[in-house]
Structures are given as C-alpha cells and as structure tokens.
Amino acid sequence: MGPPGSGKGTRAKIIGRMYGIPVIAAGDMLREAAARGTEKGKVARAYMNRGELVPDDIVISIMEKRLNKPDTERGFVLDGFPRSVRQAVALDRILEKQNATIDTLLYVTAKPEIIVGRLSLRRSCPKCGAVYHLKDMPPREEGVCDECGSRLIQREDDKEEIIPHRFEVYERQTFPILERYQDAGKIKEISGDLEMDQIPVALEEILGKP
C-alpha cells in the first residue's frame, strides 16, 4: 500500500521475481478489462480516468476470481487491493476460505514532490503493463516497450490535472484501512525514495531471504 505513484507496482514486481510468486495488481487487471472492452472494464475505465476508485463490487469480483487460481497456492503479492474498507472485509473473507492470511503489509512512503514528478514522467505499456520513467528508467528505444515492442502511452490518470484528485481519494478512502493492519502488527514501511538497486536489499531485510 501507499499513495499513488509511491512505487508500489515497481516493488511488487521485484518481490514477485525475488520470491517466485505471482503479482496480482488491481490497477493492471482493471486496465486489462478496459482494454478488452468487457462490461466491467468499460465502467472501470470511466472511474479510473477520473482518478476515482472503481466500484467495490466490480473490483472484488475480479480479484476474487484471480485469487482463486491455483498459482496463488504458494503465496502472492497484492498491489492496489484492498483500497476501501469493504474491499478489506472481502479480502478477509476470500483468504479465510483459502485458509490463508496476509503476512505483511508493505507501506511505501514517498514525498509528494517526488511522486508528482514520477507520475508525470511515467510512461506505461498498454499491452504488457511494463512501466518506465522518462528520466530515471527510460526504455532502450524512445517511446517503445523493451519487453514487447508496443508503443508506450501516458496513462489518462497520470495527467497533471488528475493527480491531485487521486491523492484526495487515497487519503479519504484508502488510508483509513491501514488501521486494520496496524492493530494486527502487520505493517512494515519501505521508502519510496530508494535507488532501484537498493530496493531488493531493503525488501530482503523486511521480508527475509527468498
């Protein structure tokens, strides 16, 4: 968990690679549904483009289906879910059925001025979800995804006029759920300001050897 652009997705992908477990990113799944033009995807796109949370029912049904796939048996990283109290309650219910629990909530902290710079310079691959930063993590060829060769885009919600609203939504709807995990002693903080090569070391300190 962490504010928009703090580096959740970047850390989630590193954890997935280090520990050999799937990364389940709510935002990526919603963008995929939108790109496929499914009914849920069409609704989701409108909310996402405005920087608002997609309705709980849509998100919960997509995440529940994904979490029930067999590749989650050895563990998984959740990125961007839960993001509301209702989603947190739904996650508890889904995990209870699987006899599973959340081990750690990684809370990514970052200064707002760094975040705004990151989001406005982020470019994303609409096909495979790879993420770049025009200055700090540029693709090898300008405007082209290293992974799959697709044209990179700027996400609608990364436009400067939408970013402040995403912060408000985070503060109002997502931040309050930290309390649930705080009480259970599951929260570990990781800085969003680390250099890329420092991230695996910091993660190993927090999560243990892969």
From the CB of 8, what's the least distance to ligand AP5, in Å? Answer: 3
Q: Which residues in 177-196 contact ligand AP5 (CB under 6 A)?
A: 194, 196
Please identify, using beta-carbon distances, which residue of 113 and 185 lies nearer to ligand AP5.
113
Q: Which lies closer to ligand AP5 via its Cβ, residue 40 or residue 83?
A: 83
> Using CB under 6 A, which of the segments 50-58, 65-73, 93-101, 140-148 binds ligand AP5?
50-58
DSSP letter assigned to residue 3: S
18 binds ligand AP5 (CB under 6 A): no
Asked about 111 being catalytic, the answer comes back as no
Peptide bond into 22 cis (omega under 30): no
Q: What count of Cα atoms within 13 Å lies in the side-chain half-sphere of residue 94?
A: 20
Stretch that binds ligand AP5, among 68-76, 81-89, 93-101, 181-189 (CB under 6 A): 81-89
Does residue 86 have an active-site annotation? Answer: no
d(CA 124, CA 117): 15
Marked catalytic residue, from 31, 40, 122, 123: 122
* 121-140 residues near ligand AP5, rule: CB under 6 A: 122, 131-133, 136-137
Choose the stretch contacting ligand AP5; rule: CB under 6 A; options: 48-56, 99-107, 140-148, 180-188: 48-56
Tokens of 181: 């995990």
Question: CA dihedral defined by 165, 168, 169, 171, rounded to 10 degrees?
Answer: 160
Give the CA angle between residues 123, 18, 28 to the nearest 5°.
35
Q: How far apart are CA 157 and CA 10, in angstroms?
A: 18
DSSP count for the chain of H helices, then E strands: 9, 6
Is 8 among the catalytic positions? Answer: yes
Just list the catalytic residues. Answer: 8, 83, 122, 155, 166
